[in-house]
Amino acid sequence: MKTKSKKVEIEDSSVYIFYNTVTKVMLFCDAHHFDGAERKFDLCGFKHRSDWKILLECTWQPTEGKNAK
């Protein structure tokens, strides 16, 4: 019996890194938008929000310097 395969579209997401400047703890969060990453971070209930920096992993990152061929 033949089965039909469906094409599933997968929405791209980004990795957001929440970095605590006091404790040096990093929390990696996969989300589709910044707002989604922020909501996930808020669910953790961390205190002293001003101690956290938010970083974003870029899809295109330089790997061999600006003079790479």
- CA-CA distance, 55 to 63, in Å (whole number)? 18
How many structural domains is the chain composed of? 1
6 in a structural domain? no
65 in a structural domain? no
Q: For residue 19, what are the β-bridge partners?
A: 26, 53
50 in a structural domain? yes
8 in a structural domain? no
pLDDT lower than 70: segments of the chain = 1-2, 8, 10-11, 59-62, 64-69
- The pLDDT score that the predictor gives to residue 44 is 92
7 in a structural domain? no
- Structural domain that includes position 25: 14-56
pTM greater than the 0.85 cutoff: no
9 in a structural domain? no
Asked if residues 16 and 27 have their Cβ atoms less than 8 Å apart, the reply is: no
